[in-house]
Chain A
């Protein structure tokens, strides 16, 4: 190939001051620039102080409003008793391990099943209509049904069939119910991602001779997954809380062990302890979701300011 000749020399960008000796660094900023910087610094300081002050005032008002209320001592003793909290912590933490196991196993299964359903729903071709129809029916059914009812039906209904080899452990049945419900949600998230990939991508892939499956695997899904990661993490945080519902089947998880202790002492502090543990569990996920979203934004806008 012939080398293209440049018609015009590009302007040379350099920080060297014209006329000055080569290699000299930038000139010191002007008075005006210095004053601008100082003004910006002072504004930043001022807004930080204002934010601090308003936060402090809000906290003080909230604190006074709560602690000056007539029922506060009773509420404090019933919901925020440090001794009860300490006493209940070991059992609740042990219960949280059950929740974590369900979360890990269930989370992975949800990803697989959800992706499968989404793939079924996005199949092309008239012959595959029944598969599409079934996948759509599944999503409609399990997105619409309250999780607690699915838990009851799966947890007490399956064993009632009296079939050989049906598991009776609340852990297995609870996880199955959660996977059924959450897969429907996640399938919709995946489908939105798949459909957000521009049709031209698909057309280009097919024109290169890729089959439908190859197109999905190599071209569409990688882009779709990147789009829906924040939404998936959001569903993961929701799942973290909802694993607390498996206690209705008899598994002694964090929520259930808190409930047991509330029943013994008629003091509600264990509920607060369990709630805080779940929040602690959700914070890393929320930060991760933020980081992933921010990274995606940086990539897409690669350096532009807005």
Chain B
């Protein structure tokens, strides 16, 4: 009986497997640059920046994009606070409006390791030390506080302190600082109800499946004013984080752009642009009573 030379078969299989799994060509130089970034010269210009597509800035956000951060789920129209901030940052870096490309990236894809399909992502990402292990953040462009909202006549309507809320069923969106604040600051007796999106949370609130939900304050004002029938802001929560909860633009870990984008945001803060944009898009974020 003739036998197949087994070692040969194995070797062939191994060679095949290895060639099939050969590492793909790195489009950029393998990220050996430290956290400093590429522009050692300090030049943050479109010619110098190592962007995804040369000469254009690719900005990502999630789909759908919510008001008041974006208007009409169309980030490219420049309306809404975050869209306006994104265009201001692009301008600061020297990109015209036509050089900005928007792309839609879901939450998990934005935080995955490896190459990402954007230069930076603007989607109300709160900056935390823990998250910094996995991604880069620009310097903060907005300081946010969290608020509790409900509908008129619910059990949470008229609550004036955290103690009034502890015994109720409270909800929030998964993977948000709203949820963290809900569990740490309010520390309710029942397990919080955790939703995929704020839309689901709103629906559950209208159905009476939860007594109140926690969202960030600008969203709270928008939802209660425009989306909920007889929505009520119960009050805002004092920040539990150090130095408040701050939104930053999200970049890939050790991205060569982090430095320049941070500097652009800092420049916008110093020359008052950020404050102006806040005034323009988030002006109705007046004072809500603080729950303690």
Known A-B contacts A247-B194, A252-B191; the reply to A268 vs B112 at CB < 8 A is yes
Please give the distance in Å from A258's CB to the nearest CB on chain B.
10
Please give the distance in Å from B256's CB to the nearest CB on chain A.
16
Contact bitstring A83-109, B, C-beta under 8 A = 1, else 0: 000000000000000000000000000
Contact of B200 among A50, A68, A159, A248 (CB under 8 A): A248
Contact bitstring A234-266, B, C-beta under 8 A = 1, else 0: 000000000000011011100010011011111
Contacts of B204 in A (CB 8 A): 156, 159, 250
Among residues 1 to 31 in chain B, which have CB atoms less than 8 Å away from a CB atom of chain A? Answer: 6, 10, 13-14, 17-18, 21, 23, 26, 30
Contacts of A74 in B (CB 8 A): 113-114, 253
Q: Which of A55-63, A189-197, A213-221, A298-306 contacts B (4 or more CB under 8 A)?
A: A55-63
Residue pair A65, B21 in contact (C-beta under 8 Å): yes
Known A-B contacts A61-B18, A168-B207, A250-B200; the reply to A256 vs B10 at CB < 8 A is no
Residue pair B200, A71 in contact (C-beta under 8 Å): no
Among residues 33 to 82 in chain A, which have CB atoms less than 8 Å away from a CB atom of chain B? Answer: 50, 53-54, 57-58, 61-62, 64-66, 68-71, 74-75, 77-79
Contacts of A58 in B (CB 8 A): 13, 17
Indicate whether B171 reaches chain A with its CB closer than 8 angstroms. Answer: yes
Contact of A260 among B131, B174, B203 (CB under 8 A): B174
Residue pair A168, B23 in contact (C-beta under 8 Å): no
Contact of A54 among B10, B30, B134, B174 (CB under 8 A): B10
Contact of A263 among B21, B174, B200 (CB under 8 A): B174
Residue pair B174, A69 in contact (C-beta under 8 Å): no
**Complex: how many Å from CA A233 to CA B176?**
38
Please give the distance in Å from B206's CB to the nearest CB on chain A.
7
**Complex: how many Å from CA A64 to CA B18?**
8
Contacts of A70 in B (CB 8 A): 23, 26, 30
Q: Count B-side interface residues using an 8 Å CB cutoff.
A: 43
Indicate whether B192 reaches chain A with its CB closer than 8 angstroms. Answer: yes
Residue pair B179, A260 in contact (C-beta under 8 Å): yes
Contacts of A266 in B (CB 8 A): 111, 130-131, 133-135
Residue pair B113, A156 in contact (C-beta under 8 Å): no
Please give the distance in Å from A257's CB to the nearest CB on chain B.
8
Residue pair B128, A264 in contact (C-beta under 8 Å): yes
Indicate whether B102 reaches chain A with its CB closer than 8 angstroms. Answer: no
Please give the distance in Å from B152's CB to the nearest CB on chain A.
15
Contacts of A259 in B (CB 8 A): 174-175, 194
Indicate whether A230 reaches chain B with its CB closer than 8 angstroms. Answer: no
Known A-B contacts A256-B174, A264-B128, A264-B180; the reply to A69 vs B23 at CB < 8 A is yes
Would you list 29 pairs from A and B whose C-beta atoms are within 8 A, ordered by A residue? Answer: A54-B10, A57-B14, A61-B14, A62-B17, A64-B18, A70-B30, A75-B114, A78-B113, A159-B208, A159-B209, A160-B206, A168-B209, A170-B209, A250-B193, A252-B194, A256-B174, A259-B174, A259-B194, A260-B174, A260-B194, A262-B108, A262-B111, A263-B174, A263-B176, A264-B130, A264-B180, A265-B131, A265-B134, A266-B130
A residues near B, CB below 8 A?
50, 53-54, 57-58, 61-62, 64-66, 68-71, 74-75, 77-79, 156, 159-160, 162, 168, 170, 247-248, 250-252, 256, 259-260, 262-268
